[in-house]
Amino acid sequence: MFLFTVTGEKDSQRFEFVTADPKKIVIVAAATILILASAGVDGFLVPKAIQVSRRHDNFIRKTPFDAKSHLAASTKSRPVEKTDQEWQEILTPDQYYVLRKEGTETPGASELNYVKEPGTFVCAGCGAPLFVTDTKFDSGTGWPSFFAPISSSAIDLDTDFKLLLPRTECSCSQCGGHLGHVFEDGPEPTGQRYCMNGVAMKFFADQERPDLVETVKQQQTNDPFRPSPSQLLPTAIVNGIISAFFVGSFLSSQQTTPIEYLTLLPGLYYGFVSAKNIAKML
């Protein structure tokens, strides 16, 4: 049985007519959206991944999620706190759009994509060290990507639902500036991909900032990076629920055509992500 029901007979003459099955249309549409989103969630909202320097002020006002997410983030106490006006004065328009309004820069737009020399990537808002070149890799996404931050306390991870499906948002632990998102398709040893906006960071070579090198070494020694159960568990639960819904939908209905197997794919994907998060907590 496909998305449509095809039957009919009149005066001993068979004929075919097509009627839509609303339930299947909704399920397959949702499955397709989830598959596309899972393939590269940061770039899924194409209108949001515009050149950040192009009419970003107008775009911020038209983005419904920005005000709510920014308000929620501002309620958490941070070591570095400034008013919105102060942030606008010290940040460039592009930095402000990404760091304070949770925007997304155009993939491939950042020069940090091509940095390979030893050094440290710091928050463009407060200067806090976040990542080192040793953990950087080419993900092919167009955004600077890392498999781990310098320490567990360097970044904050929160689950957001801006795309109606769970994503792990990554922000600077010192000032709360939005950096990007974390995905479970990175290389070993963590298996994670910290997909960061280049404009949200600055890079300093080791020879340029030897003091920063020492700071990073101390943080790595005193607070080595390890995934926190409190950060992994909520995402694991939500992903497990999504997986159960789609797998259950697939098993409870008669799926006979290739396109209808789309309902199974997001179930398998989110089940894998959930299991992976649980395994990291063990």
Cite the active site residues: 195
Sign of CA dihedral 152, 155, 157, 158: positive
Buried b (16+ CB within 10 A) or exposed e, 221-252: eeeebebeeebbebbbebbbebbebbbebbee
Q: Which residues pair with 172 in a beta bridge?
A: 155
Cβ atoms of residues 204 and 129 within 8 Å: no
d(CA 116, CA 216): 18
CB-based burial of residue 19 (10 Å sphere; 0-12 exposed, 13-18 middle, 19+ buried)? Answer: exposed
d(CA 244, CA 39): 20
Phi, psi of 241 (to 5 degrees): -65, -45
Instruction: Spell out the residues 6+ positions from residue 100 whose beta carbon is closer than 8 angstroms to its own.
Output: 70, 84, 87, 91, 125, 177, 178
